[in-house]
């Protein structure tokens, strides 16, 4: 099939940036979205033009590197799907596709579709860990965790930190990301030691990094390629209140 | 400090003051609905309120504080949120949020303007002083006559219709939002709360606009 691509081109964080249009012939429906972009880049390189810069790593939907807003939706709007797992069969011949980077003050554009998501790491560094001494590898079942709690924690831990929640949020808030990182530890015994400090430090860092405030639009959950639920934001709010009135 | 400056702290303040405000509009509607029973009912209700004396002023101050805090933090948070996204994508497709949620600052500021008009109209008696007739010898005003006269011109009727439509928009997002913020939501309850939130908005809208509309259609008359 034949497609018309409108791609955001921007030469660094200070550059204005502009949408450029590319005609893409011979797109296979079996290609992934990134493979289609690879083909576009091959053609651009052949012509001696600047290739489109975009982030990718595992191409298996688990690393959280791919970060493109496709037709106005982070990761393209297919439920629980990262850009690398989005296939061209979802589009039809003659489609016009808009490809843009994550847009948020906390995510400066490095080039084209590549943004610096280091701000998410700063939130993680502020408290997304446990520092209690756990000793050697514990015997199996030495520390029993109920199935429901284990499932809850693992559901939160499914977050791959891609930043789609920020990109989809009208306020560019990182609250879903932060809440997943808080909630995954908050229900486990290992997470109790620093529970109060963690929620305060992580939410404070999110603010310092320039992310907006959560106003419960719930866009994040709809855009999240891992389906992280906004119930974790309610959990973060409870953890915050516990820390506040401790 | 933490509560009034942090992201989540201010969100909790918005939820708590929002709860006070939405509880007030519900009770206010309940009180107002005595107008449907008749002149004696609403006048008795008004007299009861006045007989509370200084408590009326305590109540007014609490409401004023909740209203002011809700507005100040609402504006501050909105400005911060706008600044967090200096330039937006060319294409934006929203998947979940709605018109009400996206226009909270607009509906909120319209509510502020409405409340000012409403107080000038029925409480401070500035906009339409001609609608007041005394009731008895104790300086009381005939509230029933005030309501009927108050909606005899087009302007107040239009202002109340528009104002209450924005109240509906604001509450239909805000009500469920406050439960999420104070941590009382989970994946099962949230969709239910979203429906209840819209219902609360509809009840408030229908309840409040029915009074001027019934006056216009002559069903509430002197």
User: What string of H, E and C letters represents the secondary structure of chain A?
Assistant: CCEEEEEEECCCCCCCCEEEEEEECCCCCCCEHHHHHHHHHHHHHHCCCCCCCCCCCCCCCCCCCCCCEECCEEHHHCCCCCHHHCEHHHCCCCCEEEEECCCECCECEEECCEECCHHHHHHHHHHCCCCCCCCCCCCCCCCCCCHHHHHHHHHHHCCCCCCHHHHHCCCCECHHHHHHHHHHHHCCHHHCCCHHHHHHHHHHHHHHCCCECCCCCCHHHHHCCCCCCCHHHHHHHHHHHHHHCC
pLDDT value of position B217: 96
Percentage of chain B exceeding pLDDT 70: 100
**A238–B101 C-beta distance less than 8 A:** no
Contacts of A206 (CB under 8 A, 6+ apart): A123, A173, A174, A175, A178, B7
Q: How far is A191 from chain B (nearest CA, A)?
A: 19
Alpha carbon distance B131, B149 (integer Å):
5
**A235 and A122 co-located in one domain:** yes
Do A77 and A188 lie in a common domain?
no
What average pLDDT does the segment A212-233 reach?
Answer: 98
Question: Beta-carbon neighbour count of residue A119 at 10 Å?
Answer: 24
Question: A122 and A101, same structural domain?
Answer: no
Packing angle between helix A231-244 and helix B7-32, nearest 10 degrees? 100
Do A8 and B90 make contact, defined as CB atoms within 8 angstroms? yes
| Among the listed residues B187, B190, B169, B167, the one whose alpha carbon sits nearest the alpha carbon of residue B178 | B190
pLDDT, position A9: 98
Tens-digit pLDDT profile for residues B178-206: 999 999 999 999 999 999 999 999 999 99
Question: What is the average pLDDT across A187-201?
Answer: 94
Task: Measure in Å the smallest separation between the Cα of B203 and chain A Cα atoms.
Answer: 22
The residue among A111, A138, A153 that closes a domain is A111
Domain boundary among A111, A127, A147: A111
**Quick one: what percent of chain A has pLDDT higher than 70?**
100
**Per-domain residue ranges for chain B?**
2-85+99-216
Please answer whether residues A81 and A25 qualify as being in contact, where contact means their C-beta atoms are separated by less than 8 angstroms. Answer: no
Give the mean pLDDT of A171-200. Answer: 96
Same domain, A94 and A211: no
pLDDT score, position B143? 95
CATH fold label, B2-85+99-216:
3 helical TM bundles of succinate and fumarate reductases (1.20.1300)
- Among chain B residues, the shortest Cα distance to A98 is held by B91
Residue B222's pLDDT band, with cuts at 50, 70 and 90, is confident
**Contact yes or no for A234 and B86 at CB 8 A:** no
A125 plus A18 within the same structural domain = no
Average pLDDT of A182-211?
96
Query: What is the Cα–Cα distance from B175 to B182, expressed in whole angstroms?
Result: 11
Whether pLDDT at B137 is above 80? no
How close is the nearest chain B Cα to the Cα of A134, in Å?
31
Report CB contact under 8 Å: B85, A216.
Answer: no
Tell me: do A34 and A124 sit in the same domain: no
CB contact under 8 A, B95 and A71: no
Q: Answer whether B95 sits within 8 Å of A207, measured CB to CB.
A: no
Whether A172 and B81 lie within 8 Å, measured CB to CB: yes
Residues spanned by the domain of A60: 3-111
Q: Residue A246's pLDDT is what?
A: 83
At residue A35, the pLDDT reads 98
The CATH number for A233's domain is 1.10.1060.10
Distance from B16 to chain A by nearest Cα, in Å? 13
> How far is the alpha carbon of A8 from chain B, nearest alpha carbon, in Å?
9
Q: How far apart are CA B13 and CA B3, in angstroms?
A: 8
Average the pLDDT over each of A57-66, A118-127, A139-148, A212-221 and give the range with the smallest value.
Answer: A139-148
Confidence category of residue B138, pLDDT binned at 50, 70, 90: confident
B178 vs B193: CA distance, rounded Å = 10
Q: Mind listing the pLDDT tens digit for each residue in A103-151?
A: 999 999 999 999 999 999 999 999 999 987 777 887 878 888 999 999 9
Percent of chain A's residues with pLDDT above 90: 92
List the single residue in A73, A219, A233 with the smallest CB-CB distance to B180: A233
Judge whether B10 is closer than 8 Å to chain A, CB to CB. Answer: yes
- Distance from the Cα of A48 to chain B's closest Cα (Å) equals 27
Instruction: Check pLDDT > 70 for residue A13.
Output: yes
Q: Quote the pLDDT of residue A139.
A: 83
Same domain, A80 and A126: no
In a mutational test of the A interface, the residue from B8, B74, B79, B180 whose CB has the highest number of chain A CBs within 10 Å is B8
Q: Which helix (H) or strand (E) holds B135?
A: strand B134-135
Q: Which residue of A has its CA nearest to B6?
A: A204
A127 and A85 fall within a common domain = no
* Residue of chain A whose Cα is closest to the Cα of B77: A213
* Number of domains chain A contains: 2
Asked if residue A63 and residue A40 are part of one domain, the reply reads yes
The answer to whether residue B1 scores a pLDDT higher than 70 is: no
Strand arrangement of the beta sheet that strand A3-9 belongs to: A18-24, A3-9, A96-100, A69-70, A73-74
Check residue A5 and give left, alpha or beta (phi > 0: left; psi -120 to 50: alpha): beta
Task: Say which CATH number the domain at A78 has.
Answer: 3.10.20.30
Same domain, A233 and A137: yes
Rounded Cα distance, A133 and A229, in Å: 31
Say whether both A96 and A124 belong to one domain.
no
B97 interfaces chain A, CB cutoff of 8 Å:
yes
| Beta carbons of B85 and A213 less than 8 Å apart | no
- Asked whether residue A57 falls in the same domain as residue A130, the answer is no
Answer with the one of A91, A111, A131 that is the final residue of a domain: A111
* Residues of B with Cβ-Cβ distance to A218 under 8 angstroms: 96-97
For residue A104, which residues of chain B lie inside 8 Å, CB to CB? 84-85
Q: Do B7 and A214 touch (CB under 8 A)?
A: yes
Binary contact (A203, B6; C-beta < 8 A): yes
Burial of B90 (0-12, 13-18, 19+ CB in 10 A): middle
pLDDT digits (tens, 9 = 90+) for B93-132: 999 999 999 999 999 999 999 999 999 999 999 999 999 9
- Residue B182 touches chain A, beta carbons under 8 Å: yes
Query: Residue A131 has what pLDDT?
Result: 85
């Amino acid at each position: 099939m034949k497609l018309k691509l409108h791609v955001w081109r921007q030469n660094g964080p200070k550059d204005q940036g502009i949408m450029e249009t590319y005609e893409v012939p011979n797109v296979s429906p079996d290609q992934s979205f990134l493979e289609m972009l690879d083909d576009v880049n091959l053609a651009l390189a052949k012509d001696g033009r600047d290739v489109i810069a975009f982030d990718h790593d595992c191409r298996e939907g688990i690393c959280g590197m791919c970060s493109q807003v496709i037709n106005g939706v982070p990761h393209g709007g297919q439920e629980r799907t990262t850009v690398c797992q989005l296939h061209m069969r979802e589009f039809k011949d003659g489609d016009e596709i808009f490809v843009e980077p994550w847009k948020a003050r906390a995510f400066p554009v490095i080039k084209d579709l590549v943004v610096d998501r280091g701000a998410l790491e700063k939130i993680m560094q502020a408290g997304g860990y446990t520092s209690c001494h756990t000793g050697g590898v514990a015997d199996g079942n030495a520390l029993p965790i109920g199935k429901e709690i284990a499932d809850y924690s693992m559901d939160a831990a499914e977050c791959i930190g891609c930043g789609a929640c920020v990109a989809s949020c009208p306020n560019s808030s990182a609250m879903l990301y932060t809440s997943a990182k808080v909630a995954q530890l908050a229900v486990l015994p290992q997470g109790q030691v620093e529970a109060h400090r963690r929620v305060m430090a992580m939410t404070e860092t999110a603010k310092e990094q320039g992310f907006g405030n959560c106003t419960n639009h719930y866009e994040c959950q709809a855009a999240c390629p891992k389906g992280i639920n906004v119930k974790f934001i309610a959990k973060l709010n409870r953890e915050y209140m516990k820390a506040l009135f401790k | 400090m933490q509560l009034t400056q942090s992201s989540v702290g201010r969100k909790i303040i918005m939820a708590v003051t929002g709860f006070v405000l939405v509880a007030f509009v519900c009770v206010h509607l309940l009180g107002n609905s005595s107008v449907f029973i008749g002149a004696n009912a609403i006048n008795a209700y008004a007299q009861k309120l006045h007989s509370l004396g200084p408590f009326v002023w305590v109540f007014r101050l609490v409401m004023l504080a909740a209203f002011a805090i809700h507005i100040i933090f609402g504006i501050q948070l909105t400005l911060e949120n706008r600044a967090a996204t200096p330039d937006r994508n060319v294409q934006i497709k929203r998947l979940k949020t709605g018109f009400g949620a996206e226009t909270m600052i607009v509906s909120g500021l319209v509510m502020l303007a409405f409340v000012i008009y409403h107080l000038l109209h029925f409480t401070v008696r500035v906009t339409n002083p001609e609608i007041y007739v005394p009731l008895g010898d104790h300086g009381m005003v005939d509230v029933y006559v005030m309501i009927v006269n108050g909606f005899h011109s087009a302007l107040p009727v239009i202002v109340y219709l528009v104002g209450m439509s924005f109240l509906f928009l604001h509450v239909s997002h805000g009500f469920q939002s406050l439960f999420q913020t104070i941590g009382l939501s989970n994946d099962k309850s949230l969709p239910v709360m979203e429906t209840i939130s819209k219902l609360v908005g509809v009840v408030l809208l229908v309840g409040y606009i029915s009074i001027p509309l019934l006056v216009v259609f002559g069903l509430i008359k002197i």
